[in-house]
Amino acid sequence: MIGAVPVLLALAFGVTALLYASVGFGGGSTYSALLALSDLDYRLIPLVSLACNIVVVTGGSIRFARAGVTPWKKALVIVALGAPASFLGGLTPIREATFLMLLGGSLVLTALTMLMPVREGAGGAPTWAARLMPLAAAPLGYLAGLVGIGGGIFLAPLLHIVRWHEARGIAATASLFILVNSLFGLAGQMVKNGPALFGQAIGAALPLLLAVVIGGQVGSLMASRLLPQQWIRWLTALLVLVVGVRLLFGV
């Protein structure tokens, strides 16, 4: 259970939030992985990880909006398609073995996406495939609600590949996508599991929420100055890959 290793688990959550916030994501996939490796009831895992996601990306989304870099017209189309699917994902009943398999697979994919090079600047005109990006929103939203991730870590590389927008606009869109998906996915999980289970999850996870508040703020303000962002992405990808493989193959 969470209470058995509060200090170590909270520290791991804080470091995760720091690393992910420094590269513009929430960290939901790794929160879910860390909880899956503990003895926490698997039904609580998406509740805790989505709540932590919301804490981390809210500040980033606000900063992007204040800086005027969020491409609202394009971003809201993607967000509007992903949010209902995230709610449905949260509502979907799932067995523990299936949950762990999907989580492990999503972690491996997360690691691969984090190893992809990030384009800086505008990088040229959008490709024809940029118009198809809203089609990716619903499946990514559904996965977000189902296993407790935000989906932005999968969306951002796709947007970079098709040159959907300049780099900061993509980061802002991914952050908003994660925030809204996490809110809707959490709502779906609450309806499915009931308020009592949600209260149990949040009550047990208060130290983790505090840790990600601190880690997320430090990450967004300082981490990119201490290490090159590419190094941070590689280190985080390695951690996620190891946990994903362990969940998939039981090693």
Q: Quick one: tokens of 46?
A: 């998406």
At 223, the pLDDT band (50, 70, 90 cuts) reads very low
CA distance 90 to 93: 8
Task: Tell me: pLDDT of 205 over 90.
Answer: no
Q: What's the total number of domains in the chain?
A: 1
Domain membership of residue 230 as a residue range: 2-249
In tens, the pLDDT along 5-47 reads 478 888 999 988 887 877 778 888 888 888 887 878 888 889 9
CB burial of residue 160 (10 Å; 0-12, 13-18, 19+): buried
For residue 105, the number of C-alpha atoms closer than 13 Å in the C-beta half-sphere is 8
DSSP annotation of 221 reads: I
Question: What are residue 33's phi and psi, to 5 degrees?
Answer: -65, -45
Name the token pair of 208: 């983790």
Measured at the CA of 89, the angle between CA 84 and CA 91, to 5 degrees, comes to 95
Is a pLDDT exceeding 90 seen at residue 183? yes
